[in-house]
Amino acid sequence: MLGRDRISLAFALVTAVAAMAMGCGGEGENNVNAGGAGGTGGQGGGSSSSSSSSSSSSGTGGAGGGAVCPTHEGTVFAVRELFFGEGNSGEWKKFGFDVDGKVSAGNSDDLCKPNAGGSAGTAYPDGEEGIDNSFGRNLLPTILSIYPKWVTDVNTGIQNGNFTALLKAECLPATGDAPVLLSKLFGGTTLGGAPKFDGTDKWPIEPGLLSDPMDPQSSTIHFPASSVTGTLYDSGKNVQVILSVPVRTQTKSTSIKLTLYSAQMKMTLADDRKSATSGMIGGVLNTEEFVAEIKKVGDLMGLCGNTLFDGLVTQVRQASDIMTDGTQDPTKTCDGISMGLGFDMYEAQIGEVGPANEVGSACP
């Protein structure tokens, strides 16, 4: 039988993939592709003034189209650092959003039913002001107990230029509000060296979520109703974020693709709108989709049929605390795992199309 240390490594690797909705990876050579789609553009777009990285435009947002930006120019932000809410003082309670609109406790009776024989007292309790983050409450501590340096290693991957996620805010004005603007998300593959963080980093783009695999600007992942009010950027509610992370051993490779549903992202822009801090993202992983991706890593590491690995799958299911669409239904079993995390971003550039992520096999 395979040793418990290999099971622990698999768990840390898989949960590391799920932990970043905007984009995350494990150590070393892991790369990320992140994006989101969803929401509907409102009627009546905003106007904007030009800056060195954005152009002036005004227009009307169509259904799903967001505000019109004829030049399609915009400010590009790349993830610089991730924050997971680790700690022994309930830090996870501050990460994410109140997705279901409820303040839940272990004895709440208006929530979906526990999954896989799980405990309501474990899965249900919210963070501050109803923040939904079962991932931070139930899975993050397990990751860190078996991989204490995981958060450091994830951020070292960014600092080394192994991966990032990029957001392009089209026609972002240099000053003033933008009631409606179109934002697009991209996944950044290996930069080829450490980023300079000075606006010149040109990240290659993973092609998996591009409408034209030859055009790095053709993201299919849009936030059509994003906005800027003062210094606050808001993606809008109920968007989807898709991430795809290549995971490799010396002999095999696979690609983990996850979708965060009912998501929202906010961040505070700097005065010059060339960086952002206090970023927050929250949403819901579909439990069985997550399990399917875990089984890819199980196959990659030769864990298929191992009883300890099967126990890991059960533990993930028991963390389910919400429905995938972000609602609660006491007549149904929870089929989603809420999660949240923080981030900072800096100004960067979109480069050429990089290599596509590989697709591997999975445990039955």
Consecutive 10-residue runs of the chain (364 residues): their mean pLDDT?
46 46 38 42 36 35 56 92 91 97 97 97 97 94 81 87 92 95 92 96 93 94 95 95 73 80 96 97 95 88 88 93 98 97 96 86 92
Q: Is residue 95 part of a domain?
A: yes
Closest CA to 63 of 75, 45, 81, 85: 45
Q: Is residue 363 part of a domain?
A: no
Q: Domain residues for 179?
A: 4-353
pLDDT at 35: 44
Q: Is residue 362 part of a domain?
A: no
Q: Is residue 98 part of a domain?
A: yes
Cα distance between residue 17 and residue 297, in whole Å: 10
Please report how many Cα atoms fall inside a 13 Å half-sphere around the Cα of residue 234, on the Cβ side: 15
Domain count, the chain: 1
The model's pTM is 0.82
pLDDT at 71: 78
| SS3 of the chain: helix, strand, coil, percent, to 5 | 20, 30, 45
Q: Where are the alpha helices (DSSP H) in the chain?
A: 4-18, 120-123, 134, 140-146, 150-159, 287-300, 307-318
Q: Is residue 358 part of a domain?
A: no
pLDDT at 178: 96
Residue 268 has which token pair? 């505070």
Distances 166 to 21, 25, 179, 326 between C-alpha atoms, Å: 12, 14, 21, 25
Q: Is residue 360 part of a domain?
A: no
Q: Is residue 317 part of a domain?
A: yes
Please report how many Cα atoms fall inside a 13 Å half-sphere around the Cα of residue 116, on the Cβ side: 20
Q: Is residue 361 part of a domain?
A: no
